[in-house]
Amino acid sequence: MIIDLRSDTVTKPTKGMLDAMMSAEVGDDVYKEDPSVNALEKRLADMFGKDQALFFPTGSMANQTALKLHTNPGEQVICDKYSHIYNYEGGGASFNSGISCKLIDGNRGMFTASQVEASINPPDFYHSPLTTLVEVENTTNKGGGACWDFEELKRIRKVCDTHNLGYHLDGARLWNALATTKEKAKDYGQLFDTISVCFSKGLGCPIGSVLIGDKDLMQGAIRVRKILGGGMRQVGYLAAAGLYALDHHLDRLSEDHKKAKEIGAVLEDLSIIAKVEPIETNIVIFELEPHVDESEFLKQLSDKDIHIIGMGSNKLRMVTHLDYTDAMHKHLLDILNEF
């Protein structure tokens, strides 16, 4: 039994998902003639109460497209120092859009409206980059799967309105946030100008992300996607996996969250562990005591076929997911209890 908790991206399609993919109706999506892609896009636009949605191969490409839609070269996006767009998209903000990031020193990947206010460059001070966009991530990845306080997100919306800034949500794991907070997709659709969501994380698809927004902004999205090389042909085989996941894998996310909390409870009691970050969804981040060697600890686990990742500074991460079964969970807890 190999237990892979490095990420929720390691899942493989279930039999049911594969069947749905193999029997998908397809067409050329560059001509917008793929019925499965069109159905997925329509479903997400309706779910979030927005005009349009567009299918992408990756979340990075969906986020990068959003950055491009909201900004011109030389401008600046406000985001957290932990944000995926800053840390894990290969420097795409500068490469693709020619913009810089103003980083907020937030808490677990989250920040406040007053921190946003303080990060805006005065528009008439032409020495500084013009601030045009605020980006938030929910749940926060590097922040340990934390969920934002919706009231704070609303206060940030007000700041965006006052200063005429775009508001983009990186919702790669928004599904996990919705499962925990019981908020509705439409609440987010009302608040944000653009939202990206992923199907290849908790929902267990092999690939796929969607960018959602209103017509005025989204009309440029298909062109940017084409420029980035994301115009795909009979991609309905992949969109069908997304449709299947919405029907079958959304309601089970709370199981992943429950398992993550149970792992956290065991880790809390281990003497070699200094700290476990609060666990709200499917990500467990914990820190080893300073005297414990991180690579040695990782090796002890991998010798037992348990794979997790180190994040530097003695911090480690485990992520629960669809392919992490009850049997694996029981086995992992037994092994952890031996430390």
Q: Out of 13, 59, 236, 242, which residue is the one contacting ligand PLP (CB under 6 A)?
A: 59
Provide the β-strand partners of residue 213: 52, 194
- Say if residues 288 and 297 touch (Cβ distance below 8 Å): yes
Footprint (CB under 6 A) of ligand PLP, residues 217-276: none
- Rounded to whole angstroms, the Cα distance separating 120 from 38 reads 38
Contact between 58 and ligand PLP by CB under 6 A: the answer reads yes
β 131-137/166-171 pair status:
parallel
The answer to whether residue 64 forms part of the interface with ligand PLP (CB under 6 A) is: no
Regarding 281 and contact with ligand PLP (CB under 6 A), the answer is: no
- With CB under 6 A as the contact rule, the residue among 84, 157, 321, 329 that binds ligand PLP is 84
Residue 277 binds ligand PLP (CB under 6 A): no
Any residues with CB less than 8 A from the CB of 170 and at least 6 apart, and which? Answer: 59, 63, 83, 84, 85, 135, 136, 137, 138, 196
By the rule CB under 6 A, 70 interacts with ligand PLP: no
The correct pick among 21, 136, 156, 172 for binding ligand PLP (CB under 6 A) is: 172
From the CB of 59, what's the least distance to ligand PLP, in Å?
2
**Torsion (CA) 266, 324, 40, 209 in degrees, nearest 10:** 70
b/e sequence 98-134, b meaning 16+ C-beta within 10 Å: ebebbbbebebbbbbbebbeebbbeeeeeeebbbbbb
CB of 89 to ligand PLP, least distance (A): 7
Contact between 141 and ligand PLP per CB under 6 A: yes
Nearer to ligand PLP, 86 or 237 (CB): 86
Structure-token pair, residue 31: 């001509």
96 binds ligand PLP (CB under 6 A): no
Give the binding site for ligand PLP (CB under 6 A). Answer: 58-60, 63, 84, 137, 141, 170, 172, 198, 200-201, 209
